[in-house]
């Protein structure tokens, strides 16, 4: 148990580490491709801006500068003859210049024309951010804003400029009434898609690797749990088989020692009674061994059904009557109900008797009340047999496994009810060989209903006759 838990913890840790490594690698590859994209387009844009300046004499901010110059004169008229250097006033000046810079620049349009001429993507958004601004009224100079000194109230957040985004160009311009420095940012809308397409191969491989490792991990865990369950079933079977074989062997041993007593040998009645006990216990041993051999034959698909047309009601009525004689000492009340529309069914008489008998026996064995069992038989184009009892019931978890070979609800060396865990497995094999199904409906403490559903005619691939 501890070993399995250790393996599980190590596996989970390894998976977590692998996911972390894969995530780190993909993140680094994405960052690297993003930087390559930015560097490439920064170089293209700088060439474009230089081209625009050579062709037009400026980089597309001529009208913005003219507007700013007029704006400067307006602000100087407001503060003429006063020391008007409050923070609120400086913010108003900064926002006014920022608006003129953005609204009257022609750089974006000129740059798109250039990108189109060199067959590059023209779908981008630009951001302009003032880094330094001052008003000039010679010989006076009024500093309005400095990115380094006044970063706490700048416009970067309002302009939606990313923290680590690098500008394409840095501008500095001095006019008669103002001096300004600003950054020009360009963000391509298709950048993320382009970068993702670059790393798509790595992303697919990483995802496939993770899925493969995850699948192998869960498959291994499932196999580990299944191995543990089968090991437990094997242990239970050995314990149960030991118990089932030990009881008749012990009885035979005692009976044979009794026969060695001269007094018993001289008493004919006692001798016959003791021999009868040995015969009964020998039949019990033979029955258990034959049961195991039959199960082995079912597994190897070597078991053949010998089916014949049987009258439905007399057949099941006979099974019920024999069962009443068998369990009369236990006070079992067995009720029968028949709804017969088709009188005949194509069945293996011996095997179906065993299957139905096993279900009836379970209704008595697993019962702490006065056993009450209802057997219902419905026959038209299909044969439906239901066996309902008032026993201890079966939990939802146990219902998943009760048809498994050797499975018993009581485990370990607890033997409140005798058995090898083969009865219901045998029922399922017989029913499926007839081309049918068997289902269970139960709640703990509420009793159980087993329902067999099968065709009344036709052959199945695993049967003959």
Q: How many other C-beta atoms lie within 10 A of the C-beta of residue 243?
A: 14
Cα 71 off chain centre by: 65
The secondary structure of residue 166, as a DSSP letter, is: P
Question: How would you class 97 by CB atoms within 10 Å of its CB: exposed for 0-12, middle for 13-18, buried for 19 or more?
Answer: buried
Predicted pLDDT of residue 286: 76
Q: What is the pTM of this model?
A: 0.44
Token pair listed for 288: 């258990």
Which pairs from 415-418 meet CB under 8 Å and 24+ separation? 415/240, 415/243, 417/365, 417/366, 418/243, 418/244, 418/365
3-class DSSP state of 381: coil
pLDDT value for 328: 74
Distance CA 338, CA 350 (A): 21
And the tokens for 28? 């680094």
| Residues 404 and 234: beta-carbon distance below 8 Å | no
Q: Determine the pLDDT at residue 5.
A: 67
The SS3 of residue 385 is: strand
User: CA torsion 127→131→137→140, rounded to 10°?
Assistant: 170
- Contact by Cβ (8 Å): 322, 288: no
Joined tokens for residue 401? 């496994």
Alpha-carbon span 199 to 192, nearest angstrom: 11
pLDDT score recorded for residue 263? 78
Positions of CATH 3.30.565.10 in the chain: 307-455
Query: Which fold is adopted by the domain 307-455?
Result: Heat Shock Protein 90 (3.30.565)
pLDDT of residue 118: 92
**DSSP states of 180-203:** EEEEEEEEETTHHHHHHHHHHHHH
Q: Which segments of 139-190 does DSSP mark as H helices, in order? A: none
Pairing outcome for strands 372-379 and 333-340: parallel
pLDDT by residue for the chain (465 residues), tens only, comes to 566 667 667 777 877 887 888 888 888 888 888 888 888 888 999 899 899 988 888 889 999 999 999 998 888 777 765 655 577 888 888 999 999 999 999 999 999 999 999 999 888 888 898 999 998 876 777 888 988 887 766 666 566 556 556 788 889 999 888 999 999 998 887 788 878 887 888 788 888 887 887 788 778 778 877 777 777 667 766 765 665 666 667 778 888 888 788 777 778 888 888 888 788 778 767 766 766 666 666 555 556 778 899 999 999 998 898 888 777 777 888 999 999 988 899 998 888 888 898 899 888 888 888 889 999 999 998 999 999 999 888 888 888 888 887 777 653 444 455 566 778 888 898 899 899 999 999 988 888 999 999 998 855 444 444
Cα 208 to chain centroid, rounded: 17
């Amino acid at each position: 148990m501890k070993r399995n838990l250790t393996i599980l913890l190590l596996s989970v840790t390894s998976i977590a580490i692998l996911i972390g490594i894969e995530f780190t690698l993909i993140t680094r590859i994405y960052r690297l491709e993003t930087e390559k994209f930015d560097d490439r387009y920064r170089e293209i844009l700088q060439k474009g801006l230089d081209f625009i300046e050579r062709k037009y004499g400026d980089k597309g901010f001529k009208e913005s500068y003219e507007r700013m110059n007029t704006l400067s004169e307006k602000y100087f008229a407001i503060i003429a003859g006063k020391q008007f250097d409050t923070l609120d006033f400086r913010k108003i000046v900064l926002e006014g210049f920022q608006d003129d810079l953005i609204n009257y620049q022609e750089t974006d349009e000129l740059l798109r024309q250039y990108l189109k001429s060199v067959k590059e993507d023209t779908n981008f958004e630009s951001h302009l951010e003032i880094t330094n601004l001052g008003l000039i009224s010679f010989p006076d100079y009024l500093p309005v804003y400095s990115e380094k000194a006044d970063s706490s109230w700048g416009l970067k957040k309002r302009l939606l400029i990313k923290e680590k985004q690098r500008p394409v160009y840095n501008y500095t311009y001095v006019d008669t009434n103002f001096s300004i420095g600003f950054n020009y940012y360009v963000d391509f809308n298709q950048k993320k898609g382009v970068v993702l397409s670059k790393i798509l191969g790595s992303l697919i491989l990483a995802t496939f690797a993770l899925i493969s490792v995850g699948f192998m991990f869960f498959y291994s865990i499932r196999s580990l749990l299944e191995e543990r369950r089968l090991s437990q079933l094997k242990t239970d079977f050995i314990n149960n088989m030991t118990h089932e074989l030990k009881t008749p062997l012990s009885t035979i041993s005692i009976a044979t020692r009794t026969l060695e007593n001269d007094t018993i040998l001289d008493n004919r009645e006692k001798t016959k009674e003791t021999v009868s006990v040995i015969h009964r216990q020998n039949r019990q041993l033979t029955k258990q061994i034959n049961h195991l051999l039959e199960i082995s034959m079912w597994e190897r698909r070597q078991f053949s059904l010998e089916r014949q047309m049987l009258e439905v009601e007399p057949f099941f009525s006979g099974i019920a009557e024999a069962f009443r004689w068998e369990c009369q000492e236990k006070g079992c009340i067995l009720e029968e109900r028949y709804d017969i529309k088709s009188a005949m069914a194509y069945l293996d008489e011996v095997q179906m008797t065993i299957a139905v008998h096993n279900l009836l026996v379970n209704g008595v064995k697993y019962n702490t009340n006065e056993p009450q069992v209802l057997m219902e038989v419905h026959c038209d184009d299909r044969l439906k047999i239901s066996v309902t009892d008032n026993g201890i019931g079966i939990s939802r978890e146990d219902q998943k496994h009760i048809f498994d070979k050797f499975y018993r609800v009581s485990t370990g060396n607890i033997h409140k009810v005798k058995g090898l865990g083969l009865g219901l497995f045998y029922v399922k094999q017989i029913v499926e060989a007839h081309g049918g199904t068997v289902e269970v409906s139960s709640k703990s403490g509420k009793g159980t209903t087993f329902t067999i559903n099968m065709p009344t005619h036709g052959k199945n691939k695993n049967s003959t006759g």
